[in-house]
Amino acid sequence: MEIILGIDLGTTNSVVSILRDGQVEVLAEDGQKILPSVVGLGPNKELLVGFPAQNQWTLAPDRTVRSIKRKMGSDETVRLGEQTYTPQEISAILLRTLKERAARQLGEEIRKAVITVPAFFNEQQREATREAGELAGLEVVRIINEPTAASLTYNPSPDRLERLLVYDLGGGTFDVSIVQIEQGVVEVLSSHGDTQLGGDDFDQLLLDHVCDRFQEEHGVDLRATLTSKSRVLKAVEEAKRQLSFEAFVAVELEFVAEKAGVPLHLKREISRPEYEPLIEPLINKTLVCVDEALSDAKLTAKQIDRVVLVGGASRTPLVHQLLQEQLGQPIHAEVDPDLCVSMGAAIQGGLIVGLDVGPVLVDITPHTLGVQCLGDLHGYRSSYCCAPVIERNTALPASRSEVFYTAQDGQKAAMVEVFQGEDRDVRHNEHVGGFHLEGLAETKQGNEILVRFDLDLDGILTVTATEKLTGLEKTLTIENAMSRFRGEHQEAARTRLEAAFAGDRQAAGPLSAEVPSAESSPTSEVLPPELAGAVGRANELMSKAEELLPGANEQDAGEMRDLIGRLRRAIETRAQAEMESALAELDELVFYMQDAV
Ligand code: AMP
């Protein structure tokens, strides 16, 4: 069987994959699937490639070359010690390292490769990439576009035309492409991007944020000396990565600076709500490109079948959230965004030699796992809110944490109830387990409780709740957390829950998703069981009505808004008869509207 290497020759990192027995395999060495695209000369002039070269970058920038991809196709050369090299030569060193890795893993030399390039690369840049491959001793059987490769990992349907939006946010660049797949033929319809925007800019913003606060506190600018700046930069980059999975992180650096002979240490906690406003304007810039790419392809968001994420920085939760809001559909990031381009190149290699290519297998959570909390449910405060912690389609194993707040002054216990399902209302989801974290400190409402979910490949979920103030902690392990959700169980779960809520769970206060404001009333809103059913139906109907509002004519929309208002007031005042009557009227209107739209 002929093997063709699939190579993602990236600006920051490079990856090599192969297709074996119909399955894609990313080739790792020493446990590392990624090869940093960095080449250097060590202190004894020995050639360093990948991590060793990356590690010496801050100490010896004159002997280290990064981001060579940006220079491909140009006449610029780079210096490495006393020698100058063309971009093709530096790229060839990276490609040869990957080729040798494959030979060691497979026990034979592989000479053929498919190499990926950005969709916006011009002919010269593509030609330079091909040359680099040849210098590395590879026969480049095809150069393919990165978004094309990424699309191939998403098991396109063989008999349907599909359109994908590939959002690629790397370290230094951003690209968005609209890709069309029909009967195995992949075509890039449009591409937009910003060659100066990426995860490295997020690092810069976080660096400034941390350094500004440090300067306010100590009167010392950590950016003024190269060593302290590079230490802080490294620490904030790591913090940024963690913030994709954790609610807050600690940035700690000892002896980071000195003032009048006294050593200064950096110790700062950064929360996701503190970090996200810093990067939101940059993410909004990418969304403008998304709009442009759609309009160039003469498509609307509704005509996109899938949204695919590529590039390390696309793991940022705010990217998922804003993109999902803008496009109005779920985002697919099941295949590792760092690896999917190389995997797609290997699939392309398999297709070229006529191999059967099976679907890319990934272990994912089929349903969202979240906790019950007090929050906003269809416009009113309810303790039946489901706050997602691990979203559906997340690749396994997965660890995520979110911060919640106690809802009442002096709250002694917090209930941590875990649910599985996609509904914002826990009563429509499956209860998979829970516990009370008891013995909380005597404080005002807003006491921070960190809830952490660790879900392993066998579906075992470990839930840990920690009171941040004291470190008080409780853990629960739930076996088979992923296989419990069954349609027929939903009704039973709902009944069980309603009964439970009417009972002794009121003893422990619920968690709240929002930080309570000083004026907000610290109530835990628990509905009597006879009202709960009607409220559930009202919620469903109101959200359906809200979906229909944009397409409704003025008169219907006005009527619908009135009825939604009546329903909300009825829920607030617990007026069951009024609720039932408004519900019946809205039901009729929604029925009529659905037919009309
Ligand atoms: P790439 O060029 O695709 O290799 O992406 C590299 C960029 O992704 C760098 O800016 C990394 O800091 C960033 N990155 C990697 N992992 C994460 C993560 N978990 N969350 C946010 N950014 C990340």
Please report, for the chain, the start and end positions of each structural domain, with discontinuous segments joined by +: 1-153+335-360+484-504+516-525, 164-331, 369-478, 527-597
Report which ligand 1 atom has the smallest distance to the Cα of 168: 3
pLDDT(149) > 90: yes
pLDDT bin (cut points 50, 70, 90) of residue 98 is: very high
Query: Superfamily for 369-478?
Result: Substrate Binding Domain Of DNAk; Chain A, domain 1 (2.60.34.10)
At residue 483, the pLDDT reads 56
Closest CA to ligand 1's atom 1: 170
Ligand 1 mean position to 199 CA, how many Å? 6
Ligand 1 mean position to 202 CA, how many Å? 10
Residues 6+ apart with CB under 8 A from 192: 175, 176, 177, 289, 290, 292, 293, 296
At residue 397, the pLDDT reads 86
pLDDT bin (cut points 50, 70, 90) of residue 393 is: confident
Dihedral angle, C-alpha 84, 89, 90, 92, nearest 10 °: -160
- For residues 371-397, average pLDDT: 86
Residue 334 CA, chain-centre distance (Å), reads: 10
DSSP 32: B
Of 331-340, 460-469, 484-493, 587-596, the poorest mean pLDDT is in: 484-493
At residue 369, the pLDDT reads 93
At residue 36, the pLDDT reads 97
Report which ligand 1 atom has the smallest distance to the Cα of 13: 4
Distance CA(351)–CA(22), nearest Å, equals 10
pLDDT tens, position by position, 277-318 = 999 999 999 999 999 999 999 999 999 999 999 999 999 999
**What CA–CA distances, in Å, run from 234 to 229, 399, 547?**
9, 22, 45
At residue 524, the pLDDT reads 32
Closest CA to ligand 1's atom 7: 171
- For residues 20-30, average pLDDT: 92
Report which ligand 1 atom has the smallest distance to the Cα of 310: 3
| Residue from 197, 315, 399 whose mutation best tests the ligand 1 pocket (most atoms within 8 A of CB) | 315
Report which ligand 1 atom has the smallest distance to the Cα of 244: 20
pLDDT bin (cut points 50, 70, 90) of residue 134 is: very high
At residue 506, the pLDDT reads 35
Ligand 1 mean position to 175 CA, how many Å? 14
Closest CA to ligand 1's atom 19: 241
Ligand 1 mean position to 415 CA, how many Å? 35
At residue 287, the pLDDT reads 97
- Calculate what percentage of the chain has a pLDDT beyond 90: 58
Q: What sign does the dihedral 268-273-277-280 (CA atoms) show? A: positive
Distance CA(152)–CA(358), nearest Å, equals 11
Higher local confidence (pLDDT), 520 or 246: 246
- For residues 450-478, average pLDDT: 92
Ligand 1 mean position to 168 CA, how many Å? 11
- Residue pair 164/187 in contact (Cβ under 8 Å)? The answer is no
At residue 596, the pLDDT reads 54
Quote the mean pLDDT of the chain. Answer: 86
- For residues 350-366, average pLDDT: 76
pLDDT(515) > 60: no
At residue 516, the pLDDT reads 43
pLDDT bin (cut points 50, 70, 90) of residue 362 is: low
Ligand 1 mean position to 313 CA, how many Å? 4
pLDDT bin (cut points 50, 70, 90) of residue 248 is: very high
| Residue from 8, 12, 399 whose mutation best tests the ligand 1 pocket (most atoms within 8 A of CB) | 12
| Residue from 241, 282, 318 whose mutation best tests the ligand 1 pocket (most atoms within 8 A of CB) | 241
Closest CA to ligand 1's atom 2: 170
Tell me the whole-structure pTM to 2 decimals: 0.73
Ligand 1 mean position to 16 CA, how many Å? 18
Ligand 1 mean position to 205 CA, how many Å? 15
Ligand 1 mean position to 106 CA, how many Å? 29
Distance CA(529)–CA(525), nearest Å, equals 12
Query: Superfamily for 1-153+335-360+484-504+516-525?
Result: ATPase, nucleotide binding domain (3.30.420.40)
Please give all residues whose beta carbon lies within 6 A of any atom in ligand 1, as ranges.
10-13, 170-171, 198-200, 237, 240-241, 244, 311-313, 315-316, 338
Burial zone of 52 (CB within 10 Å; 0-12 exposed, 13-18 middle, 19+ buried): middle
- Residue pair 405/511 in contact (Cβ under 8 Å)? The answer is yes
pLDDT bin (cut points 50, 70, 90) of residue 150 is: very high
pLDDT tens, position by position, 314-347 = 999 999 999 999 999 888 888 899 999 999 999 9
pLDDT tens, position by position, 516-561 = 443 332 223 334 555 666 776 777 778 778 778 777 877 788 888 8
Higher local confidence (pLDDT), 188 or 290: 290
- 164-331 belongs to which CATH class? alpha beta
At residue 532, the pLDDT reads 62
CB neighbourhood size of 161 (10 A): 11
Ligand 1 mean position to 122 CA, how many Å? 25
pLDDT bin (cut points 50, 70, 90) of residue 490 is: very low
- For residues 453-468, average pLDDT: 90
pLDDT(92) > 50: yes
